Each structure stands twice: as C-alpha cells, then as structure tokens.
Structure 1
Amino acid sequence: MMITSERAYTYAKASGIIGKSFLRKRMQELAAVSRLNELDRLVFGEKARELPERALLFDLQRRIMQRTAEEILNLVKQAFPRFLAQELPVPQAMPPNLRLIQLCVQSYEYQDLKMVLTSLAKGEQTAPFHIDIAPFGSIDFSAYPHLERMVRNSEFSWLVEKGPVYQNQNLVLSLQNELDRRYYHLLWEAVQRLAYSEKGPVEDLLRREIEYKNFQWALRLKIYFDVPTEEIEKQLIQEQYRGRSLAAETIRCLSLPVDQASAWATSPYYFLLNKETPDTPWKPDPRFVQRHAALELYHRAWRYFRRYPFSLSALVCFIKLKQFEEDLLISLSEGLALGFSGKEVLQELEVSP
C-alpha cells in the first residue's frame, strides 16, 4: 500500500480523526442535544446554519454525509499518493489494495445510484442529492435524467440493458437488490486478491458484514412481506467462504418457526435477535437485528483498527468507523426532528459510549 513512514503518518492522521469523531466517549455529547440546531452546532461549530427545522433536517443530513466522505477521501489520498497523483487505473489494472479501497469509497456511489433509480421511476426531473467521490466515481450524475449517459463507459452500463425504469417500481427494487449483490461480489473478489498478510482482518470483517446483511434482509422479506423462501434465496449474497455460501446459514434459518425463539438458539446469529419477553408473542424483529448487526460490526472494526495499525485493515476499519458515525448522526437527526431527545434516540438505538 505504501512505505512504512507513510503508513505511520496515515494511521496517526486516522487516529486523530477518529478521536474527534462522535464515537465512544464523545457519544455522551450527542446524548445532551435536544434540537436539530444544537446538533448542527455540535458537529459543524461556526459553520452551522440558521434554517427552519424542516429545511435544516435535510440540509444537515447532506452536510453530514459530505463531511464523512471528504474525511475518508482525504485520508485515502494520503494513503495512495503515487497512484492518485495520476489518472486512476481501470479497475482490472488496479493493485488489489487500491481496488478494495476504491470499492469501500464507492459505497456512496452505489447508494446514490439506487436513489437515482427511485427518482427515475417516479419521473422526477430534478436529480437527487449525491456525494462527490472523485476520483473514485464512475457515474456522470450531471447527465440525469438520462440513465444511459450517466452510466456510459462505467461499471454500471449493464443497467440500461434491463429496460426503462419509469413507473416500474418492481424493476427498480430488483435492480437495487442486484446492485447490492454485485457490489459485495466485487468487494469479496477484491479481498480474495489481497496478499495473505493483508487479508485476515479485512476478510473477517467483510464476511460478517455479508452474513449479517443476508440475515437481516431475509428476515425483513419473510416477516414483513411473507416472501417465499425460494424467492428470498435469489436475493441473497452468495459469495463462497471455505467452500460454503455466506448465505447458507440464513437459508437454513428460513425454515425455523418464527414464533419460537428457542428454535433459533442453534443459529450463529442468535445473539443478534431480540429476546423473548413475558406475556408477549415472540417473532424476529428485523430492525432490532439491523441495529445489533451494525453495533457488532462497529465494535469489531474498532478492535481491528487498534490491533492492526499501519495496515490496509486499519484503513478499511477507519472507513467503516466513519460511516457508522455518519449513520448514527443521521439517525439522531431524524429522532430530534420527531421530537425525541438525544438521550432517548441513543437509548432506542442501544448505543452507549
């Protein structure tokens, strides 16, 4: 990735950014806010804006996302100065470590593209907000609403072959799921190309992320929409780890009774599930699972960030930690807009310093 002195400087810079982020002890400051403008001042200081609360919500969320992306991009540019001083190689020609980091950053582009598909299906002429991730992006968002021009000569050109999305919500949902599966396939592929000395922590973190994503998505489809098992299987991320699909355990769980918590005790994901409460019928809560999966990945990323300094793993974990903070701040802003206090939101999210 870089010479030792560059790795040391990059890790020191990453540690400084993480230290100033609203993670661990600084979460206590989030619990003290009670209004959106207080959160704005806490996060942005003198750059906070005086806006009506409804307008402030969307404006604040956009600035939070842009702030996170900029911090990530600045550190990545520090980590790969020689590659980023020139035109970025095509994905096939990138070193495995740079390709992996590009994909981590491209998570913003994938999310923005899913929003574009939703907007196109509704016939909206104004482009939705997107995060600028130059030089890692490949979509021309300025060409909206012309999808073919937006994705021309990019990794997303296949979308055009699927047909028009206007007023076709079912196609949009299918494409959004395919984007997720393609994204994780590329991520997993990039990890498998890494040198053995760099792979371990990154592979473990990504493997768990894929497994948890499969589990929570399958529960959502089963509990909320009663989707048949064979249809759920088609929507799962089927990457292989040691000869076994990362969706295998989730598929097994789909045959378990949804009203008996004890039947799920043999699953490795049992610790993510909501517990039984007296006199209340039990069933898996997908939102509870999503929250606890995010928390488990956050704590693991924190441990790996500290345990493997000066490594590619530390850079990947830095990105994951900053994106967890971003999700936390977005959730907090939404809760404040609904009239909850910062403390109440953090309690609901089960987040603690």
Structure 2
Amino acid sequence: MDKSGAASYVYAKACGMLGKAYVGKNAVKLFNAKSLSDLWALIFTEPVPVVPEMLLANQIEYEAVKRFVSQYSHLLENYTSPDSFPVELLRRYEIENLKVFAASLSMGETKAPRIVDIGNYSVLDYSGWPDLSKITKDSPFEWYNAVPRIAERQKLDYALDLQEIKNLWSALNHVSDGTKDVLVDFFREIYSIKNLLWALRLRVYYNFKKEAVEENLFYVGDAPSKSDPICAYAYEILDWDLDSFPVWSKWRFAEYLNRHEEGEVWSIAPMVVEQNFRYFEAAKTKKLFHQYPMTDVTLVMFFRIKQQELDCIRAATERLRLNADKNEAMYVAGVKPDALEHDIER
C-alpha cells in the first residue's frame, strides 16, 4: 500500500495494541499476579510451559521481547520503504545479541546463546557462530571481529552503545514525513537525560571525578563536550556539590529531586531523580503518539511505550522470582498509577 495508507493502518493497529499494553494503570495487573504461572497466563495465550520457576521467569522475559519485536516488525512491514530511523531502533537488539555472543565466546562457551532475532532487519549473520568475524562481516559492526578478553568487554560494550546512538542521530536526518524536528527534540531530550542520570550515578555510587565522568558520557559529535546535543545536561552538574540542596534547588529539574526536609542532612538520590524522569517520559510518549498520528512519531512512540511495558514485565517477573515487595517493584519499574493519566510538561 502507499505510504499514507500504510501510515493510517499502522496508527490504527498501534492504537489497538497499546490499548492492551501493560503500562500506566494497566501495569498494576502485572504486579497483582500471585505466581509466575499467573503472570504467564496474564501476558500470553499459550499454555504455561512446564519448566522450573527460574526457567519460567527467563522464558517470560524472553517471550515478551520476542512478541514485541514481532509486533513492531509487522508494523514496519506495511511500508514499502520505511524511514531508516524507526528501523534503526531495532538495532538495539542486534547490539545486545552481539554483546551476548562476545561474552559467551570470551568465557569459552561452545554452544551459541539464545538471541532475539529481528528477522529481515538483521545485519548480523548468526550462522557464522562461533567465528565473530563471520557474524559481523559486511555489517556496521564489522570492526568487532575478534573475541574480546574479559577485561576488554566493558570498553567494547560502550563502543557498541555509542555507535547505536550515533546511528540513530544520523538516521534522524532521513525522516521524510515532516516530523523530523519533533523526533530530534525528543531524542535530544531523552538521551540528554540518560547522560545526566549516568553522570549522577558515576559521581554518587562510584565517586568518579569530573574527568572520569566525561570519558564515560555518550555523544553524537566527535567527542563529549558541553556543546554536544546530548551532553549539556550532564556537563551542567559535573561540579555541583552532591550534598547541597541550595545548589540543586535552582536546577532546571528541581521538581524531580528527592525530598528535602529543613534541618535534615540531604544528598541527591539518583534513583529518585531517575524514577521521576520515567514518569515524565511515560506521559511524554503517550502525548506525542496521539499528537502526531500517521507519522514516524507513531512508530517511535509505539516502540518507546512498549519498552516501558517490557520494563514492567521484567520488574513483575523479578518480584515473583525473589518474593519482593509489590510496591517496591512497581516503583523500580516506574509505575505511578495515580499520575500517568496526566500529561507532564515542562
């Protein structure tokens, strides 16, 4: 079908799927499940696999991802030639597959690990196992052609993540339906926040100094800098006193800080800030999905909202596996039932 027809069909299908998605208040159902078997029955129509609890937990998470990739791929397939940006979003799973392959090989494993197959959108040749150079040959990741030492993996994982972000930024230039500026603004905001949160965690939990944090930031230019489109938020707070509420109270995101009580010792809590940003993104994606129907924004926001659902499924699965507190698990997943019905804007 032509692009306008495909866009109309995709929007209608996406609306239907999101109406059933376990996000917002609907996500609470996941955390009300009494067992992993109950959780499986809630999410899937297939019979519950007869496997040990640990394997069932892994299977729930894996099948949820597989189902999402299938749903998203089917939406893309309605376009004769989809724009590159919505396709590039799937590359996240290729990168995770490559990390898993490299980790398995570096540990001396001989059996190919389980992966998430993205079908026709794949650029890796998984039949090349166990030869990493064959797996990545003629792909954007051809440079990753040797089994890394265990000590090298973190650096190489960072390089893969950085390549993903740069590829996404480049693909934004090819959005053809008039929503390029909307997606650029969204991408810049979301990845600026990711950088900011990463910088906070490195400073608070690992006591990284400014120079060390800079070396671990993501960027879309030639190097991390204050002027990079996704680095400004992180650079802004690199020198701030982590224990001074008066300093942080003037921050552009002060509303997302952990509570300050007069007369009590205060330190910034990255987890609280992150959770509040999750609430912000959940509302933002929902709003943009409906604000720009039948455009690339539909696909991108569908992708992001379904990622939120996968986060909730993982958290609900872990809660049952570890017998953890329901409210704590919901908090970790970013579920805020009484707030997600409202649009959050800044």
TM-score (ref. length: structure 1): 0.86
The verdict on how the C-alpha distance between 1:103 and 1:350 changes in structure 2, with shifts beyond 3 A counting, is closer
Structure 1 stretches of 4+ moved >4 Å = 240-244, 277-281, 341-344
In structure 2, which of residues 235, 238, 250 is the aligned counterpart of residue 254 of structure 1?
238
Aligned to 1:66: 66
Could you tell me how far 1:41 is from its partner in structure 2? 0.6
Pair 1:213-2:190 in alignment: no
Paired with 1:242 and 1:203, the residues of 2 have a C-alpha distance of 18
Aligned ranges 1:1-353 → 2 under 5 Å: 2-78=2-78, 80=79, 82-83=80-81, 98-160=83-145, 164-166=147-149, 168-169=150-151, 171-195=152-176, 197-239=178-220, 244-276=228-260, 281-340=265-324, 342-353=326-337
SS at match of 1:172: helix
The residue type equivalent to 1:301 in the other structure is T
Amino acid at match of 1:121: S
Which shifted more, 150-159 or 122-131? 122-131
Q: Which amino acid aligns with 1:37?
A: S
Q: Which residue of 2 aligns with 1:88?
A: none
Is the 8 Å Cα contact of residues 205 and 297 (structure 1) preserved in structure 2?
Answer: no
Distance 1:273 1:128, change over 3 A: farther
* Counterparts of 1:275 and 1:190, CA distance in 2: 39
Gaps of 5+ in 2: 338-346
Moved more, 255-264 or 285-294: 285-294
- CA distance, structure 2, for counterparts of residue 183 and residue 275 of structure 1: 35
**Contact 2:84 2:174 (8 Å CA) reproduced:** no
Displacement of 1:141 in angstroms is 2.6
Deviates more, 1:274-283 or 1:285-294: 274-283
Letter in 2 for 1:221: L
- Identify if the C-alpha distance between structure 1 residues 225 and 123 changes in structure 2 by more than 3 Å, giving closer, same or farther: farther
Farther off after superposition, 286-295 or 59-68: 286-295
Structure 1: gaps spanning 5 or more residues = 84-96
**1:118 counterpart letter in structure 2:** A
Q: Secondary structure at the match of 1:128?
A: coil
When structure 1 is superposed on structure 2, of 285-294 and 40-49 the one drifting more is: 285-294
> Which one-letter code corresponds to 1:30 in the other structure?
L
Contact 2:257/2:273 (8 A) holds in 1: yes
Superposition deviation, residue 196 in structure 1: 7.6
Provide the C-alpha distance between the structure 2 equivalents of 1:4 and 1:273, rounded to a whole number of angstroms.
Answer: 43
* Residues 34 and 341 in structure 1, CA contact (< 8 A), matched pair in contact too: no
Aligned residue in 1 for 2:343: none
- What's the C-alpha RMSD, in Å, of the aligned pairs? 2.5
User: Aligned pair in 2 of structure 1 residues 243, 254: CA closer, same or farther (>3 Å)?
Assistant: closer
Aligned mates of 1:277, 1:306 — CA distance in 2: 39
Aligned-pair identity in percent equals: 25
- TM (norm. structure 2) is 0.88
Distance 1:164 1:63, change over 3 A: closer
Cα distance, 1:220 vs structure 2:
2.1
**Structure with a larger share of its residues in helix:** 1
> Does the 8 Å contact 1:33/1:342 carry over to 2?
no
How has the CA–CA distance of structure 1 residues 239 and 265 changed in structure 2, closer, same or farther, with 3 Å as cutoff? farther
Aligned residues: 334
* 1:208-233 deviation line (CA, Å, top 9, x unaligned): 12101111111222222222321221
TM-superposed CA distance for 1:129, in Å, is 2.2
Question: 2:340: which partner in 1?
Answer: none
CA separation of 1:77 and 1:286: change in aligned 2, threshold 3 A: same
